[in-house]
Amino acid sequence: MTSSVVPFGKPRGERADAARNREHLLRTAREMLAEHGAERVTMDGLAERAGLGKGTVFRRFGSRAGIFRALLDADERRFQEQVMSGPPPLGPGAGPVERLVAYGRARIAFLVDHHAVARAALDRAQPVPAGDASVTQLHLGILLRQATSLPHLNGLAIQLTAALEGPLLLYLSRPEAEEALATETVELLGDAWETLIERLAR
C-alpha cells in the first residue's frame, strides 16, 4: 500500500481551480478554528476571510456542518494514511498486537482532538455520526486475524470498533459530558484498550 491512493483533500477528477479553492477554503477554515473556536466559523465569515463569494462556499460545502465534515474528512484521510504507510507501530512493520494497541491509542487521541470539529460536523438530519468506523473495523479485523486464532472474529471486530470509538462518539451529542474528555479519560481508555488487546491475543 502506498500513500498515493488519493491525494489529500483532492477528490479524483476535481478541476484544478476548484481544487485550489477547496484547499484555500479548508486552510482558511482551519485558521479560523484555531483562532476563535468552532462556534465562530460560519459560511459568511469563511467566505469573507477567504475572499471568495458566498455562492462558492455554499456550492462547495452545502451547509455550515459541511465545512466541518470536509475538515474532518481531510484529517481522517491523513490519519488512515499514517496507518497504511506511516512509521511503525501505527503503520506497517510492527507485530499485530503492537499495532492493535498503537491503533487504539492513536484513534482515541484523534477522536478527542477532533471532538469540536466532529460535533460541529453533525447535521440534525444525521443524528449519529457515522464516522469512519468502518475503516477501524476493517483494520482491527485484519490485525486480529494476524494476532490471534480467536473464533467469531467478524463479531469481535464490530464490538471492538464500538469499544474503541463508541465512548468518544457519545460525547459528540452530549455537551455536558465534555469535561470527561480530560487527559485522564484518554489515558484511562488507552490503558483499558491495551489490556483488552493483550488478553485477546494471549
**Among the candidate windows 49-57, 69-77, 92-100, 150-158, which touches a second copy by CB under 8 A?**
150-158
User: What's the burial of 184, exposed, middle or buried (CB within 10 Å: 0-12/13-18/19+)?
Assistant: exposed
Alpha-carbon distance of 157 to 144, in angstroms, equals 8
**Among the candidate windows 46-54, 72-80, 92-100, 183-191, which touches a second copy by CB under 8 A?**
183-191
Name which of residues 110 to 139 contact a second copy (CB under 8 A).
122, 124, 126-128, 130
Alpha-carbon distance of 68 to 33, in angstroms, equals 10
Least spacing, CB of residue 162 vs a second copy, in Å: 3
Residue whose cell numbers read 486475524: 145
**Among the candidate windows 21-29, 33-41, 49-57, 155-163, which touches a second copy by CB under 8 A?**
155-163
- Closer to a second copy at the Cβ: 21 or 161? 161
Position 175 contacts a second copy (CB under 8 A): no
Contact status, residue 91 vs residue 81, Cβ threshold 8 Å: no
Q: Contacting a second copy (CB under 8 A), which of 68, 79, 110, 193?
A: 193
Task: Return the C-alpha torsion angle 113, 116, 121, 123, nearest 10.
Answer: 140
